[in-house]
Every structure is written in structure tokens, then in C-alpha cells.
Structure 1
Amino acid sequence: MATVGTGVITRAASATDLSPNTANSGGDKFTAGSDVWLFLENSSGAPITVTVETPGLVRGQAIADLTISVPAGGYAARGPWPADVFGDGGGLVALTYSTHTGLSFGAWKVGA
């Protein structure tokens, strides 16, 4: 899995700062946070399912992984991603994909 940075949206941010990442075949990770949002874009002709791992526990019980359906030629935005639910031991959120072909994404938060 590749770890990608979390972009910060500011008045001074450039288009390069906010460029989406190409999804990797083995999945991707980004830093968890209650102020972090995920934007997914599917340029393929078929829907893509993105699975977000949930290693957190509620009273010792496992939480089911979250799935996001990104429509063909469409978008999905989700968040926030608090570390106590979605973060692994290193504080990262893990994503896997039904296919990575045509999928791009970005993890962003609003800065000052």
C-alpha cells in the first residue's frame, strides 16, 4: 500500500497542491483525522467499490469495514475519518479497491 499525503486547502493553495492521486493496485493509506475528507473520482465506465478498513473497536467488538460506491464517470466525497475508528496503529486510514483502473482520489483538510 502506498501512503499519500493529506493536502491542505488554503487561500494560497495551488492546483498542484490539490492534485488528486492515482489509486494503486495494492491500495492506499492516508492520515486519519476528524478534519480530513476524501474525494474519489471514477473515470472508468463501471462503478468502483472502495473499502475503508475500520480497525477500531466499540466495547471490544469489531466495526464492519465501510464501503463506498463510486459511480461510473462520477464522484464520491466522504469524511471525516477519526483515528479511533479508522486509523491503524500508525494513525493511517487504509483503502482497497474493487479495481484501481480509472480511480483517483485525494485526502484533504481545510487550513488557515
Structure 2
Amino acid sequence: MALLTPQQVGITGTTPTYGAVAASDTVTPDDRTFLIVKNAGGSPDTCTVVIPGSYLGQAIPDVAVTVPATNGERWIGPLNAAAVDPTTGLVTITHSFTTSVTCALVRI
């Protein structure tokens, strides 16, 4: 598990730096932060934003986003306080497939 650091998007342009995903990554919540996931692998990657807690005794569903195989790309967010784990204070994102999958955390 890795705590990802956001890259600030600037008015003069930003080229995000991508790194390999882990089976589980975390981010600090922010209303202006998005995760860009690119998949160059041979299988789809289901990225799941883990939503902790329950409402009226029912688990709040996680948010699953499928990133297609080979040349798939998805922007996920904003990764705000609604998804925070109260134990860690962080948002957790899991990946079903990690081979040739990269991500960049950006803040607009």
C-alpha cells in the first residue's frame, strides 16, 4: 500500500508523472484531487474506491470503475471526505489487476 502524493495542475500546463499501482493505494482526501489510471495490460482493472461505513444498518456501496485493457484510461474523483476511512483519515483505492497499470494523482 502506498500513500500517493498529488501533483498540482498549473495554468501553464502539467504533464503528470505516472507510477505503478499497488493492489491497494491511499490518498489524502481533497475536493480537488483526481486519480488518473492508465491500463496497458492485457486484462481490465477494476479500481474500487472503498467507502467505509453504513447507513440505516446497510453497508454503503464502494465505487467501482473499470479501466479497459490495452489502452484504457479513467479519471476517478474527486476523492473527497465522503470516502474517508475514519480509522486512517485516508481514502483507499484497490486494483483488481496491476500488471502494466499506472496512475497519477492530480490536484486541479
**Where in structure 1 do 4 or more consecutive aligned residues deviate above 6 Å?**
none
State how far apart, in whole Å, the 1-side matches of 2:12 and 2:27 are. Answer: 22
TM-score (norm 2): 0.84
2:35 paired residue among 29, 35, 38: 38
What secondary structure sits across from 1:40 in the alignment?
strand
Identity of aligned residues (%): 30
Q: Note the C-alpha offset of 1:8.
A: 0.7
State how far apart, in whole Å, the 1-side matches of 2:6 and 2:53 are. Answer: 21
State how far apart, in whole Å, the 2-side matches of 1:52 and 1:6 are. Answer: 17
Deviation string for 1:8-63 (max 9, x for gaps)?
11145764xx2012101x41111111111111100112211111101155466531
Q: For 1:47-66, what aligned pairs fall within 5 Å after superposition?
A: 47-58=44-55, 61-66=58-63
What is the match of residue 29 of structure 1? 26
CA separation of 1:12 and 1:81: change in aligned 2, threshold 3 A: same
State how far apart, in whole Å, the 2-side matches of 1:32 and 1:56 are. Answer: 16
CA separation of 1:33 and 1:48: change in aligned 2, threshold 3 A: same
Alignment size in residue pairs: 106
* Contact 1:56–1:86 (8 Å) recurs in 2: no
What is the match of residue 76 of structure 1? 74
Structure 2 regions of 5+ residues with no counterpart? none
RMSD across aligned C-alpha pairs, in angstroms?
A: 1.9
Structure 1 regions of 5+ residues with no counterpart? none
1:100 paired residue among 95, 98, 101: 98
CA separation of 1:14 and 1:80: change in aligned 2, threshold 3 A: closer
